[in-house]
Amino acid sequence: MTEENKEFIDAYIFMTYENMLKTLEKERLKVLFPEECNDPFEFMSAPPTKLPDGYTSFDSTHLRKEYGFLSFTKTYKSPTMWAHYADNHKGCCVHFRFPSLPEQNSSCRILAPQENPPYKYRQLRVEHEGECFASTQSSKTHEITKHVILYDVLYQKERAEFDGILSGHTAYGNKLEFRINTIFITKDKSWEYEQEQRIIIPTSFPTEVEDNLIFVRGFNPYIKSVMLGMHCPYSEGLTQSLINAFTLGEKNGTKITYSSKKCDCISVSRVKPTSNTFEVISDEHEDFLKFLNEKGK
C-alpha cells in the first residue's frame, strides 16, 4: 500500500466495562453468530424463488452456522446505541482506527444487477493469519481476498436472496470488483440508526473457543481509545491504569512491569451530552481524532 492511497477509517464497538477489560487483557474480540444476535433475520435469505434461468434459489440455512461477524458502528455519539449495547450508558465504547484502501462500491452484477442495490466496502490493511473467504486458484484473487474487508450494512425493506455464490470477483467493464452475497450485510431499515459496519468471519478463520464463545485475534493493535459512558461508575484515571497494565505491562506474579519499548497508549475519556442536541460527545476524543488526522496515523 503506497502513501498516496493510504487512508484510515474510524470504527467503534460498544460493550460493557467488564467486557472491555477482558478484550484488552486477552487481546481478542468476540465473534457474533446469527443465532445469538438480537435480530432473528441475520443471514436469512428471502424464501426460495425461481431465478431468471429457471433454477430455484439456494437455501441459506447453513450460512447461519458457518459464518459469524465482527460488528462495528460508524459513530460513538448515538445515545440509543449507548443504551442498547453499552449497559445503559454504564459501559464504554472502544475506538478502532484501521489503515485501509479508499472506499469502494460494488453490487451483485451476476443476477438482475438493476435490482441489487450497491454497497460500500473497504479493504483493511490488518495483519492476520487466515482469510476472510476461501481464495480461488488465481494468485491475484488469492492476494486480494487475503485482506480483511469492512462492509457497510445495507438497510432495506426486503430480505436479500441467496444465489449460492458467497463471494468473488466480477469483471465489470475495465474494473475488477470484489463482491459478497448481500445476505451477509442486509438488514431491515428499522436498524438503520446503528450505522453498522461488519467484517465477515468464516469458521475456518483462526479462532479461539472459551465457554462456548468464539474469539479472534489480530484486531486489538488498532484500538486507539476508550470512551466511558455518562453513567459509568469507574473513573478515567482508574480505567487508564487498568488499560495500561493490560496493554503496556508484563505480569510477573502479582507485580506488573512496563515495557521499555515504544507503544502508543490507549487514551481514555468520558462522553457527555452535547449542548443543544440529543447526541453525546467527548471533547477529548474529538481532539484526539484531529491529532491523528493531522499526523496521518
CA-CA distances (angstroms) from residue 102 to 124, 138, 151, 156, 160? Answer: 9, 24, 13, 25, 26
Which residues is 188 bridged to in the sheet? 156
pLDDT higher than 50, residue 140: no
CA–CA separation, 285 vs 297, rounded Å?
15
3-state secondary structure of 184: helix
In this prediction, residue 192 has a pLDDT band, given cuts at 50, 70 and 90, of: very high
User: What is the pLDDT, as a whole number, of residue 133?
Assistant: 43
Contact 184, 170 (CB under 8 A): no
In this prediction, residue 160 has a pLDDT band, given cuts at 50, 70 and 90, of: confident
CA–CA separation, 51 vs 242, rounded Å?
56
User: What is the pLDDT, as a whole number, of residue 144?
Assistant: 37
CA–CA separation, 266 vs 245, rounded Å?
11
User: What is the pLDDT, as a whole number, of residue 79?
Assistant: 98
**More confident position, 200 or 136:** 200
